Amino acid sequence: MSALVGIIGACVLILVGMIMKGGSIGGIISPPAFIMVIGATLGVMMASSGLDTVPKMIKLCLGPGMKDPAERRAETIAILVEFAEKARREGLLALEADIERLDDPYLKKGVRLVVDGTEPELVQDILETELEQTEGRHRKNQEIFKNGAAFAPTIGILATVLSLVSVLQHLDQPDTLGPKISAAFLATFYGVMAANIFFYPMANHLKRHTESEVATKTLVIEGVLSIQSGDNPRVLADKLWSFVPPALRAPGEAAPAEPVGAGV
């Protein structure tokens, strides 16, 4: 939601400002500039990240781009503490029945490994490898947008220089000079616009998804290993809640550990 609202809002405000200044939307449409800037940017993005860059980009925009990262830490802690209590009372095998009702496949995998009696080192190894792989995969997705943000403005300038070169070769028609130079600068506008209103914000937005994913998975690793080693559920809760910012803590949980007045 925030990506959609922010990006569309920024576009609308720029157009509104332009119209208030007397510009017209028709005046900023130039198919050749669009082909040069957006086309060539997509080309070098494909050269950088593979032939499936464009469908991947669209999938990312329609998938995580359309929703904000969910905050699942509080409920994950609740489940982990509940499982720790059950495992203490009835043994690890008692968790088998509960695996199926879990929504989060990562938590599911962790609990199943524990129930299957996998060695702790291997459980940790497998869960951490999976976390690193997820992070790496997300980082590559962000890189697609970062590449776009890096290439678009320079390709915009490239197209503008190219257009100016051809304008300057025909200085003998002074009355068409203004509109031609104007059209040349549209390419810079397209490039800077694509980078700053779309590519960079999207990369930042995806980064938030990653951070949220990593935060939850870190909790799961910590929790699953604690369950396996039979830690006291109360101690586990203490440990897990210290991963969560005070503002998100369940009522009754450890008081905020910062001067209230600071408000940072």
User: Considering only residues 159-178, where is the footprint of a copy of itself by CB under 8 A?
Assistant: 159, 161-172, 177-178
181, 168 contact by CB (below 8 A): no
C-alpha distances out from residue 215 to 37, 123, 183, 218, 251, Å:
38, 18, 47, 5, 20
By CB under 8 A, name the one of 117, 120, 133, 230 that touches a copy of itself. 133
Give the nearer residue to a copy of itself in terms of CB position, either 9 or 91.
Answer: 9
Copy the structure tokens of residue 207. Answer: 């980064």
Which 12-51 residues touch a copy of itself, going by CB under 8 A? 13-14, 16-18, 20-24, 27-28, 31-36, 39-41, 43-51
Residue 192 near a copy of itself by CB under 8 A: yes
Which 199-258 residues touch a copy of itself, going by CB under 8 A? 200-202, 204-206, 208-210, 213, 235, 238-239, 242-245, 254-258
Residue 103 near a copy of itself by CB under 8 A: yes
Which 57-86 residues touch a copy of itself, going by CB under 8 A? 59-60, 63-64, 68
CB of 227 vs a copy of itself, minimal distance in Å: 16
